[in-house]
Structure 1
Amino acid sequence: MTGIITRTMATTMTKMSIALMLALSTSSVYAAQDNAYHHEAELSFLDSDDGGDGGDGLVNANYRYYFKAVEQADKPYALAGFFHQGSTVAARYATTDVEDLYNISGEYVFDSKWFIGAEVSRLNIEEDNYSSSPDSFTTYSANLGYFFTDHSALTLNYSRMSESESSSFASATYNSEAYISRDLDVFNLTYEHFISLQSTAGVMLTGKFTYSDDQYTINSSSTAIDNLGQVTIRDSKIYMGYNNYNLAINADWYINNAWSVGANVEQRYVDTSYNFSDTSFDNQGDNDQIDTYTGINTRYVWRFADVFSAKFSLDHSYFNGEYDNDSQTSFSVGINARF
């Protein structure tokens, strides 16, 4: 029932968004003043069809403070922060039916155009939905980068997440203990470059290479006593390791400062190793696969007041994997305040 309601809402909202965006592009609206700002706050809602299976809506709240004023006139509104090239601090909260995300971050830009940043994220998950893994994760990130020009930047980012959890159960005839751990290391190298055009605002190009090492382990032991008093001891281990290599290219064409259309392609190579061992057997091996993601999108920013803007986005993505194919359409609407 929930899935049906979610899909119906997503379809209705998508039709409304397309109609609204067409109306805004063909009619004159209030001419908001593009004043410089230090504060930016945003509240948005995202929904997707998850390939037709229904999806959980995501509510997202962001706040960012810029230490020097951001000029937003004569440039795409969505890229004002990129062109700013100044120090910032930010906070974020996002929630779905089963997850809550808390995030704080900061970035300092030197006069030499080098910049450094740090970020901490906490993800809480409802334990009933993910009972075989830790119910919360904390990720620490650091980045180093350089602004080559007013329109280009190179960023190297490293993220680390390490969580563990133990559980136990005991009764008159049975007791068990389990230790669950997950360690994730991620390296990102990102290059961003904006190309100005004469007839339209320009094109934003982004290239990203990502490597991640993800290791997941469950060690468990149990002791059982049957009706005859016979004792059975069982020890087992589950290990899954993933080495991921991702290469992604995105291009967003800004028809004007408010409206953009874009496309992206990403190829992912995954090297998986596993080891399932028990008192009576041991099974281990590895597997390789290559998956491809492609997508298109359109985004619109309606500046209906000097401070407030409405933001709309529509995305469609397609997943082409070695063992599965899928597609997804998502829609987002939000209110943005800059002052």
Structure 2
Amino acid sequence: MAQSSNIGAQYSLMNTEYRGIGGNNDFDTDSYSIDGTYVFDSSWFLGLAYQDVNPNEQNSVYDQDSDTYTINAGYYITNSASLSAFYSNSEQSDEKDYELYQLAMEQSVDSYGVEYRHFFAFTPLSGIDLSAKLSQEKLDYVSVSSGASNTKNLSNNTVNTAIINLNWYINRSWSIGANYQWLDIDAEHIATGDLEWHTNMSHSDSFYGLKTAYWWQISQHFAANFSAAKLFGSDDANRPDGFLVGATINGRF
């Protein structure tokens, strides 16, 4: 587990494919990010990150591009374990102007939580990386339709999440892993205008995943990462399983 100050940049391309009752969807997502971490002599660390995500999803009414800012702080408990807390904010907005009507939406997502990481070394080149994260996400969404019909939709969602990730690094380049994710969702939806309604719902769900990745160290500062993951939606029969394939270019200085 690296315990030194660094600055990094990353570009990734992820392909998402899923099959569901509502139809099939297959699209690519481009992601650009920059991050930096400063490690103090006392083993405390502070990090900042920015990420720009651009899904090329054709079935979406609105542009799904988003900007996310994250700050995290933590402590290296030992040479192989750390505990940290984080906060992030993501914003989205878009407008559509058609002949008979106009659409507009704004979305804000605030997330915060804690994460524990521990690396169990088997040899100098292999080991298991275990991480556990608890987080809460609050989403505020507003969409407005005007013209032929006039409707305003409001959504206020709170999502509590628990995630466990386990990656076995067989050697310095290749890893295989599994993850488990539990979600608890409270959602409120309000519509006003020509169409009025108000609903509340709460439910929990679980997901599992298997993955593998290969790390290619191109030079001292640049590396490429190739990954594949299979996702399983266990509790909801209407929720589609997914298969993800990704490629990432990393620069670390």
Shorter-chain TM range is 0.7 to 0.9
Count of aligned positions: 241
Tell me, yes or no, if structure 1 residue 326 matches structure 2 residue 240. yes
Corresponding residue of 2:39 = 109
Corresponding residue of 2:93 = 164
Larger helix fraction of residues:
1
Q: Secondary structure at the match of 1:84?
A: coil
Of residues 210, 229, 233 in structure 2, which corresponds to 1:315? Answer: 229
Corresponding residue of 1:238 = 153
Question: What is the alpha-carbon distance in structure 2 between the residues aligned to residue 308 and residue 179 of structure 1?
Answer: 41
Corresponding residue of 1:27 = none
Aligned identity (percent) is 27
TM-score (norm 1): 0.60
Question: What is the alpha-carbon distance in structure 2 between the residues aligned to residue 127 and residue 325 of structure 1?
Answer: 18
Shift of 1:250: 1.6
Corresponding residue of 2:73 = 144
Shift of 1:203: 2.1
User: What one-letter code is carried by the residue in structure 1 that aligns with 2:91?
Assistant: S
Question: What is the alpha-carbon distance in structure 1 between the residues aligned to residue 91 and residue 252 of structure 2?
Answer: 36
Of residues 189, 195, 206 in structure 2, which corresponds to 1:292? Answer: 206
1:92/1:293 CA distance change after superposition, 3 Å: same
Corresponding residue of 1:4 = none
Q: Secondary structure at the match of 1:182?
A: strand
Shift of 1:260: 3.4
Corresponding residue of 1:155 = 84
Once the two structures are superposed, residues 80-136 of structure 1 have per-residue CA deviations (whole angstroms, 9 ceiling, x without a partner) of xxx2211111122334666543322211111111111111222345697533x3553
Larger strand fraction of residues:
2
1:324/1:190 CA distance change after superposition, 3 Å: same
TM-score (norm 2): 0.77
Once the two structures are superposed, residues 144-182 of structure 1 have per-residue CA deviations (whole angstroms, 9 ceiling, x without a partner) of 111111101112111112333445567xxx6x5544211
Corresponding residue of 1:62 = none
Aligned-residue CA RMSD in angstroms?
A: 3.5
Of residues 83, 86, 90 in structure 1, which corresponds to 2:8? Answer: 90
Once the two structures are superposed, residues 272-307 of structure 1 have per-residue CA deviations (whole angstroms, 9 ceiling, x without a partner) of 21112223x421111122211112233455779999
1:238/1:168 CA distance change after superposition, 3 Å: same
Bigger CA radius of gyration: 1
Gaps of 5+ in 1: 1-82, 225-233
Q: Secondary structure at the match of 2:236?
A: coil
Corresponding residue of 1:218 = 143
- Is the CA contact (8 Å cut-off) linking 2:189 and 2:200 kept in structure 1? yes
- Is the CA contact (8 Å cut-off) linking 1:262 and 1:298 kept in structure 2? yes
